[in-house]
Structure 1
Amino acid sequence: MIVNQLSNTQTSPAKLFAEISTAYIEILAGVRRPEQLSRWLSDKAYYDISQRSMRRARQQALVGPGTRPTIILRQSKIFPTDKGAFQGVVLLEISSVLRAVSVRAEMVHGRFRITEIVLISSSS
């Protein structure tokens, strides 16, 4: 599912950001393991996602497993920030609720490495 090579996304990583964001939501929902994204994540980002995944697993052990969320990609926008770095926002409809995922990636040895990924939640 994740883009094999970045030759197609070298100039515009919007598709990569969308796929990574979808996988991130599945990790938070407990239907995917964080190891499946490890090659795309920086050490800090991987650690953060692993910790969230473990907390979610503990919660599921107490209340029971949840259902697999329905995820629909609405839009993916990217913005260049530094040389070889991009910030992006991916709008996903997650089980009929519109959410945004903020993603930051830097070019490391010819590949994008996700350095930060955050699900933006509403205050309500």
Structure 2
Amino acid sequence: MATTHPNFARAYRAADEAAELNQYFAPQRTSTADLPDPETFLRNISRGVLEIFAGVREVDQLARWLTEDAYRKLVTRANLAARARSARGIPAKRPVHQIVSVRHSSPADGIVEGVVIVRGPARTRAVALRLEGMDGRWRTTSLALL
């Protein structure tokens, strides 16, 4: 006859309590139908990212629309851009960009993957983004400047 060890039962209850807390306090998924059109968000977040790399906007201003992982990667990349400007003696100045096109698709409900093509004075770039609906708004979970 097997008996349950008291520590095992306590650990099992703790795991159940943690799962229940996550159900209420973790970021909640939001359906695409409950979110605004992603194209406007893609345009605005891309402009913000380009301004961060140019040194005229702080990363913290976009923190609300980024997940923690995307935020950390953006901070690292912004710091590298600032060091490169400093090494070349180039002051930060507001970039002049024209958004050429925005393309996006939805691989699943509440998820959008998009590419924003931006033409600048020196070159044309692409900003690739993955958005997920969390807590009633779009949040960027992945971002790459190509």
Indicate the TM-score class for this superposition, using the shorter chain for normalisation: 0.7 to 0.9
| Pairing 1:114–2:146 present | no
Aligned pairs for 1:71-90 within 5 A: 71-90=97-116
What is the DSSP-based 3-state SS (H/G/I as helix, E as strand, rest coil) of the residue aligned with 2:108?
coil
**Stretches of structure 1 lacking an aligned partner (at least 5 in a row):** 1-8
User: More displaced, 63-72 or 46-55?
Assistant: 63-72
Shift in Å, 1:66: 4.8
Aligned with 2:100: secondary structure? strand
What's the CA shift for 1:114?
0.2
Does the 8 Å contact 2:53/2:82 carry over to 1? Answer: no
Deviation at 1:78, TM superposition (A): 1.3
Secondary structure, aligned partner of 1:95: coil
Among 92, 95, 115, the alignment partner of 2:121 is: 95
Which structure 2 residue ranges, 5 or more long, are not aligned? 1-33
- Say yes or no: does 1:68 pair with 2:106: no
SS in 1 for 2:101: strand
Please show how residues 14-53 of structure 1 align to structure 2 within 5 Å. 14-53=39-78
* Distance in 2 separating the partners of 1:98 and 1:56: 17
1:13 maps to 2:38: yes
What amino acid does structure 2 have at the position aligned with 1:15? T
User: Aligned Cα RMSD in Å?
Assistant: 1.7
* TM-score normalised by the chain length of structure 2: 0.71
Match of 1:58 among 83, 91, 98: 83
Percent of residue pairs bearing the same amino acid type: 33
Kindly indicate which of the two structures has a greater share of residues assigned to helix.
Answer: 2
Question: Does structure 2 retain, via aligned residues, the 8 Å contact 1:15–1:76?
Answer: no
* Larger-gyration structure (1/2): 2
Distance (Å, rounded) in 2 between the aligned partners of 1:107 and 1:18? 17
Displacement of 1:28 in angstroms is 1.1
Listed one character per residue, the Cα deviations across residues 78-107 of structure 1 (whole Å, up to 9, x for unaligned) are: 100122100011111111522211110001
- Higher relative strand content: 1
